[in-house]
Amino acid sequence: MTPQGRFISFEGIDGSGKSTQVALLADHLRAQGREVVVTREPGGSPGAEEIRALVLQGAVDRWSAETEILLFTAARRDHLERTIRPALAAGKIVICDRFADSTRMYQGLSRGDLRGAVDALHTLMIGLEPDLTILIDMDPAAGLARAKARQTVEERFEDFGAGLQEAMRAGFLALAQEFAQRFRVIDGGRGVDAVAKDIRDVVAAVL
Ligand code: ADP
Ligand code: TYD
């Protein structure tokens, strides 16, 4: 079945402003009279939110990268079945704060090269890519400072440190070239309004 809606994902390092911009874009599209579903990963359905607590809390070495690939993909499958596919089938715009590109980066790159395993499991169990992926690119030190200022218990990945954030930034930019057709890169190191305007323009061009 071909989804009739539109699927937009946001990617970028921790603290790059994804959640902030997801909310602003949703407000903007709703003001135009569009039906929008805002969701996030890991999470976005009751079962996937339970898995979220398992993967984002606790010691840095709580799970191996391989186990994480399985947990994130399990959460994504539930999210897809219960939230994303029904919304797309109903013609809605789904805006998702992170999706499979985050697994390609965080599990595929952070502790050795597991990109092949991530992609194989994605093909087998998910098989859906966003129509548009907005990559908010910014300096990792500034992003980490913003993220750390939030003070939550979900800091497992932030605790991997600045080195990981540097690698993730470079990895995301490489991914944007690999999937150039669906990716748009936005400079996130500016004020909230300037970033939001660029995102609105990019989305308008695609919708
Ligand atoms: P992410 O979801 O990518 O981790 P958030 O949207 O939660 O990022 O933003 C992280 C923190 O930085 C929040 O406290 C948010 O208010 C702040 N923030 C977001 N965008 C900007 C911006 N353009 N300039 C300064 N601070 C920002
Ligand atoms: P998120 O709540 O988006 O954190 P932030 O707002 O700080 O960007 O995501 C939490 C963490 O989960 C983030 O550090 C990245 C990680 N993550 C993965 O490692 N793999 C994944 O597939 C996803 C979706 C997230």
* Residue-range domain boundaries for the chain: 6-206
State the distance from the centre of ligand 2 to the C-alpha of 33, rounded, in angstroms: 30
- At 118-162, the pLDDT tens digits run 999 999 999 999 999 999 999 998 988 887 777 676 766 766 677
Q: Among candidates 122, 127, 118, 106, which has minimal Cα distance to 169?
A: 106
Pick the CATH number of 6-206 from 3.90.1720.10, 3.30.70.980, 3.40.50.300, 3.40.1390.10: 3.40.50.300
Q: Would you say the CB of residue 183 lies under 6 angstroms from ligand 2?
A: no
DSSP 159: G
- At 25-68, the pLDDT tens digits run 999 999 999 999 999 999 999 999 999 999 999 888 899 999 99
Closest-CA residue, ligand 1 atom 11, reads 146
Q: What is the pTM of this model?
A: 0.95
- At 60-113, the pLDDT tens digits run 889 999 999 999 999 999 999 999 999 999 999 999 999 999 999 999 998 889
- Tell me what pLDDT residue 159 has: 66
Please report, to the nearest 10 degrees, the dihedral formed by the alpha carbons of residues 151, 147, 206, 92 taken in order.
-10
Q: How far is CA 154 from CA 34, 38, 84, 92, 143, in A?
A: 32, 20, 24, 30, 16
Q: Indicate the pairing of strand 36-40 with strand 132-137.
A: unpaired
For the CA of 99, the nearest atom of ligand 2:
24
